[in-house]
């Protein structure tokens, strides 16, 4: 039997946030945790607890392929910490998936949920596979087998996945259906990022970019800069980048540069973001968009702008180019766009960096709203979702800024301190079960 192949873009998200190439991502996470723990004078025992992942599951997943051969895939689900509530974190399908990456992403979810103070712990899942080479039927069977493999940990009260690299709402619907078939009734709250007709939330798609917009406005106000006419360059024009650019333009900022994997465009008079979004939706690329002078992605990063929004990949601002960055504010839409070397250089230059675990937390915040709506069986209008998101992002920015002033540390260290102290406090209250 031959496989009927549909374009991959119909059912998987494009490759994204593969990060930290040569650096072990879990070690990177630990170095940031160590710094926050030292500043907080965290008890040695608690540091040991937070340095470890609570649970690591490895499953081997036999799948009958369309040609009737059997392939066996490897999948992981890691729960880093569940002291504050059910584990929350995406599932990625990618050839680069490895256990240290999944562990690091799980821990980052713990810190991200704690920074915005939503009642979740951190988790992540991954399956080593190349979805671009699989038919939709093969992907469905793989998803269902993976879900069955980790079903003992899944549940609205224990572990709630979401989409991540190369998975989307289609995949979440399969996870939800498989779980529901096992427990014998429909459980929409077992995953977030679902189709709206299946219990998904209005406003989820735009939530990460909207959150970036809210924290950027907060940063401008903090630095005494005007919104109107503020110049912005955005790297990445997918979900996060395009929504951030669109919403900042609607607030009065001037988006002078945008870019995607095909390169960048620069127009000092301002780019028509809506036209770019229409073009991108049609062509899946900005390559032929006539909206400014062509630049390389590296040139975009070092433009003389007020705000730079890296919203594509990890490790784009490095020790090599940080000295050339001219932006006054960096809003990290992507996960891990700034290396530790770059961070030190940016600090010396006085660049105000809104770190990823705060800047892009709008996505998980509206995932939390989705979970709440599913459990309540009562759905909110989009205006309510957006207003509640704004409240959380603005408060979280204020909390991190206050800590950064109090301890004279940058926003990233303050965000880690806030997150680690919140998780540690819950551990102190709960004690150690024995
Ligand atoms: P996406 O796939 O929708 O968009 C990624 C964009 O980056 C595309 O426009 C792509 O062309 C561009 N890109 C890829 N390689 C590039 C390169 N070398 N140079 C410049 N641009 C390049 O992804 P997304 O959902 O917007 O996610 C972007 C980042 O934000 C990732 O790091 C992701 O983990 C992070 N993030 C996303 C969400 C979310 O809700 N989508 C939430 C939190 C964090």
Taken in order 230, 314, 89, 179, the sign of the CA dihedral is positive
Cut 0.75: pTM above it: yes
Q: Is 257 in the pocket of ligand 1 (CB under 6 A)?
A: no
DSSP secondary structure letters along 373-391: HHHHT----HHHHHHHHHH
Task: Report which protein residue has its CA nearest ligand 1's atom 17.
Answer: 261
| Over residues 386-412, mean pLDDT | 98
Residue range 378-397, pLDDT digits in tens: 999 999 999 999 999 999 99
Q: Regarding beta strands 293-295 and 263-266, do their DSSP bridges make them parallel or antiparallel, or are they unpaired?
A: antiparallel
Please tell me the predicted confidence (pLDDT) of residue 166: 83
48 tagged catalytic:
no
Q: Ligand 1 mean position to 203 CA, how many Å?
A: 18
Q: Is 89 in the pocket of ligand 1 (CB under 6 A)?
A: no
Q: Give the C-alpha separation, 375 to 380, whole Å.
A: 13
Please identify, by atom number, the ligand 1 atom nearest to the C-alpha of residue 264: 20
The answer to whether residues 215 and 359 touch, using CB atoms and an 8 Å cutoff, is yes
Task: Report which protein residue has its CA nearest ligand 1's atom 28.
Answer: 312
Q: Is 239 in the pocket of ligand 1 (CB under 6 A)?
A: yes
Please identify, by atom number, the ligand 1 atom nearest to the C-alpha of residue 236: 7
Count of beta carbons in the 10 Å neighbourhood of residue 420: 25
| Over residues 320-340, mean pLDDT | 93
Residue range 33-80, pLDDT digits in tens: 999 999 999 999 999 999 999 999 999 999 999 999 999 999 999 999
Q: Is 363 in the pocket of ligand 1 (CB under 6 A)?
A: yes
The mean-pLDDT minimum among 103-112, 246-255, 332-341, 376-385 falls in: 332-341
Q: Ligand 1 mean position to 71 CA, how many Å?
A: 30
Q: Give the C-alpha separation, 260 to 238, whole Å.
A: 8
Residue 2 — pLDDT band, cuts 50, 70, 90? very low
Q: Ligand 1 mean position to 369 CA, how many Å?
A: 22
| Over residues 393-408, mean pLDDT | 98
Lookup result for tokens 């959380």: 392
Q: Is 367 in the pocket of ligand 1 (CB under 6 A)?
A: no
Q: Give the C-alpha separation, 195 to 11, whole Å.
A: 12
Mean pLDDT score across all residues of the chain: 93
Strand partners, 93: 127
The answer to whether residues 412 and 355 touch, using CB atoms and an 8 Å cutoff, is yes
Residue 7 — pLDDT band, cuts 50, 70, 90? low
Active-site position among 124, 194, 254, 328:
124
Evaluate if residue 225 carries a pLDDT over 60: yes
The answer to whether residues 117 and 392 touch, using CB atoms and an 8 Å cutoff, is yes
Please tell me the predicted confidence (pLDDT) of residue 336: 82
Q: Give the C-alpha separation, 19 to 210, whole Å.
A: 23
| Over residues 218-234, mean pLDDT | 98
Please tell me the predicted confidence (pLDDT) of residue 9: 52
């Amino acid at each position: 039997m031959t496989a009927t192949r549909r374009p991959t873009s119909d059912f998987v998200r494009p490759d994204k946030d593969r990060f930290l190439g040569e650096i072990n991502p879990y070690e990177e996470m630990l170095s940031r945790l160590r710094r926050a723990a030292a500043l907080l004078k965290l008890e040695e025992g608690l540091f040991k607890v937070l340095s470890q992942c609570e649970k690591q599951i490895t499953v081997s997943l036999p799948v009958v392929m369309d040609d009737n051969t059997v392939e066996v895939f490897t999948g992981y689900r890691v729960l880093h910490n569940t002291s504050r509530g059910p584990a929350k974190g995406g599932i990625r399908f990618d050839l680069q998936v490895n256990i240290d990456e999944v562990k690091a992403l799980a821990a980052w979810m713990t810190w991200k949920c704690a920074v915005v103070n939503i009642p979740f712990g951190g988790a992540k899942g991954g399956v080593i596979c190349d979805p671009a080479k699989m038919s939709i039927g093969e992907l469905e069977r793989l998803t269902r087998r993976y879900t069955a493999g980790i079903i003992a940990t899944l549940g609205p009260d224990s572990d709630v996945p979401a989409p991540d690299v190369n998975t989307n709402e289609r995949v979440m619907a399969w996870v939800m259906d498989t779980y529901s078939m096992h427990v014998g009734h429909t459980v929409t709250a077992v995953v977030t990022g679902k189709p709206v007709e299946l219990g998904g939330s209005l406003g989820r798609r735009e939530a990460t970019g909207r959150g970036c917009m809210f924290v950027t406005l907060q940063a401008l106000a903090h630095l005494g800069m005007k919104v109107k006419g503020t110049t912005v360059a955005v790297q990445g024009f997918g979900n996060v980048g395009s929504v951030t650019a669109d919403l900042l333009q609607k607030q009065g900022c001037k988006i002078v540069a945008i870019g995607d994997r095909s390169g960048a465009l620069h127009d000092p008079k301002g780019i028509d973001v809506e036209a770019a979004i229409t073009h991108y939706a049609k062509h899946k690329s900005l390559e032929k968009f006539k909206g400014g002078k062509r630049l390389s992605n590296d040139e975009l990063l070092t433009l003389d702008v007020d705000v730079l929004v890296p919203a594509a990949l990890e490790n784009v601002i490095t020790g090599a180019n940080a000295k050339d960055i001219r932006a006054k504010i960096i809003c990290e839409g992507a996960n891990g766009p700034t290396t530790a070397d770059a961070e030190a250089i940016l600090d010396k230059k006085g660049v105000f960096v809104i770190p990823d675990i705060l800047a892009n937390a709008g996505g998980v915040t509206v995932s939390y709203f989705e979970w709440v709506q599913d459990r309540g069986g009562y759905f909110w209008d989009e205006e309510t979702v957006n207003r509640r998101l704004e409240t959380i992002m603005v408060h979280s920015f204020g909390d991190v800024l206050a800590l950064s002033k109090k301890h004279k540390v940058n926003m990233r260290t303050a965000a880690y301190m806030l997150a680690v102290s919140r998780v540690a406090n819950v551990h102190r209250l709960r004690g150690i079960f024995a």
